[in-house]
């Protein structure tokens, strides 16, 4: 049945698919906050995703409108589309949902087009466990390869890895912080390589830095000279605690988190 559904060579079904895709686009043509995806639990073949993107590109060219498109597929299909410059250009968001790195260093990545839903693949393949570092790795890899595209992470147990997604530069992370100044700062910052797993860092000279500290090791920061507010954020509750409202910094600042107090440290330039 799935093979028949995804058969885009059949003239009648091809046109039905085409019209359905176009109608989905027409329905939300003027709604900038709507994201177009293939479907829930999608594990279809590469050729169908190629067709879907081609129809979107055709519609955009005809109407002059731009849809927000998320590529939410199995890893093999995702990578093939992103390696295709023409079709990759249609994609705005890379959605990591149907694959993940595992804590044993391997990847759980069922193939597309096998006529099985993701939950069926889970019965056939060992899903394994995902760690904080695994979620971070998945998001940062795709953010670095495709910096002009947003990356979301909704794979196994994703609500537990909101801070990993956030610190990797991912979009729509599940974090408990609603402070508008914090979110504004974060949106302007970039991921900075630390060379260690002891802490993760976002930063932008002239704005500040956000540190996710896992230990009490010294953290060198290039902040830019000025006065900063230093605040601690509890990663579980999102509660913000002020440490110093008038921290004087002269370019390089060496920060050592309090012992036993892992979590998020936010340097906000006053």
- Of residues 51 and 117, the one with the higher pLDDT is 51
Strand (E) or helix (H) holding 152: strand 150-153
pLDDT at residue 1, as a whole number: 65
Cα 28 to Cα 246: distance, rounded to the nearest angstrom: 47
Helical packing angle, 46-63 and 11-27, nearest 10°: 50
Q: Which of 122, 147, 175 is a domain's end point?
A: 175
For position 57, what pLDDT does the model report? 99
**Taking all residues of the chain, what is their mean pLDDT, rounded to a whole number?**
94
Dist. CA 153–CA 136, nearest whole Å: 9
> For the chain, what percentages of helix, strand and coil (3-state, to nearest 5) are there?
35, 25, 40
- Please state, for a pLDDT cut of 90, what percent of the chain lies above it: 84
Residue 115 has pLDDT above 90, yes or no: no
Cα separations in angstroms, 141 against 53, 103, 248: 23, 16, 35
> So what's the pLDDT on residue 126?
75
Shared domain check, 237 and 148:
no
Residues near 162 by Cβ (< 8 Å), separated by ≥ 6? Answer: 173, 174, 175, 176
Residues 6+ apart with CB under 8 A from 80: 46
Q: What is the domain range of residue 252? A: 179-270
Degrees to nearest 5, angle at CA 234 with 232 and 235: 120
pLDDT at 98: 95
* Residue 66, token pair as written in the block: 């731009």
Band of residue 251 on the pLDDT scale cut at 50, 70, 90? confident
Residues 27-31: contacts with CB under 8 Å, at least 24 apart = 28/67, 29/63, 29/65, 29/67, 30/65
The predicted-structure confidence for 127-168, as pLDDT tens digits, reads as follows 789 999 999 999 999 999 999 999 999 998 999 999 999 999
Q: For residue 72, which of 161, 154, 157 has the smallest C-alpha distance? A: 154
In this structure, are residues 60 and 36 in contact, taking their beta carbons and an 8 Å threshold? no
Averaged pLDDT, 92-101: 97
Q: Which three-class secondary structure state does DSSP give residue 190?
A: strand
Look at the pTM and tell me if it is higher than 0.85.
yes
Domain count along the chain = 2
Query: Whole-angstrom Cα distance, residue 92 to residue 67?
Result: 9
Residues 169, 187 share a domain: no
Same domain membership, residue 158 and residue 30: yes
Looking at residue 81, its pLDDT comes to: 99
Q: Do both 74 and 48 map to the same domain?
A: yes
Same domain as 147, residue 43 = yes
Three-state DSSP state, 19: helix
Chain center to CA of 121: 23
Strand (E) or helix (H) holding 48 = helix 46-63
Find, among 2, 6, 97, the residue nearest to 48 by Cα.
6
Q: How confident is the model at residue 238 (pLDDT cuts 50, 70, 90)?
A: very high
Residue with tokens 């002891």: 198
Per-residue confidence (pLDDT) for residue 166, from 0 to 100: 98
147, 219: one domain: no
For CA atoms 196, 201, 205, 209, give the dihedral sign: negative
Identify the domain boundary among 137, 152, 175: 175
pLDDT at 120 over 80: no
Point out the domain boundary residue: 116, 151, 175. Answer: 175
């Amino acid at each position: 049945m799935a093979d028949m559904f995804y058969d885009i060579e059949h003239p009648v079904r091809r046109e039905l698919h085409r019209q359905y895709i176009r109608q989905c686009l027409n329905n939300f043509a003027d709604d900038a906050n709507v994201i177009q995806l293939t479907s829930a639990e999608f594990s279809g073949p590469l050729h169908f995703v190629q067709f879907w993107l081609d129809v979107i590109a055709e519609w955009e060219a005809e109407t002059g409108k731009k849809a927000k498109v998320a590529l939410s597929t199995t890893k093999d299909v995702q990578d093939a589309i992103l390696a295709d410059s023409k079709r990759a250009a249609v994609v705005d968001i890379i959605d990591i949902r149907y694959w993940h790195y595992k804590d044993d260093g391997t990847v759980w990545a069922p193939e597309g087009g096998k006529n099985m839903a993701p939950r069926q693949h889970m019965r056939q393949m060992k899903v394994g466990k995902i760690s904080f570092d695994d979620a971070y790795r998945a998001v940062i890899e795709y953010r670095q390869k495709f910096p002009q595209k947003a990356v979301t992470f909704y794979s196994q147990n994703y609500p537990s890895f909101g801070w990993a997604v956030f610190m990797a530069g991912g979009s729509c992370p599940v974090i408990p912080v609603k402070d508008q100044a914090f979110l504004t700062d974060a949106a302007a910052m970039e991921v900075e390589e630390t060379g260690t797993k002891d802490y993760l860092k976002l930063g932008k000279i002239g704005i500040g830095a956000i540190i996710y500290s896992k230990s009490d090791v010294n953290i060198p920061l290039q902040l830019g000279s000025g006065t900063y507010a230093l605040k601690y954020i509890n990663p579980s509750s999102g509660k913000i605690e002020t440490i110093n409202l008038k921290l004087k910094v002269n370019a390089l600042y060496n920060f050592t988190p309090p012992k036993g107090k892992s979590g998020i440290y936010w340097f906000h330039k006053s």
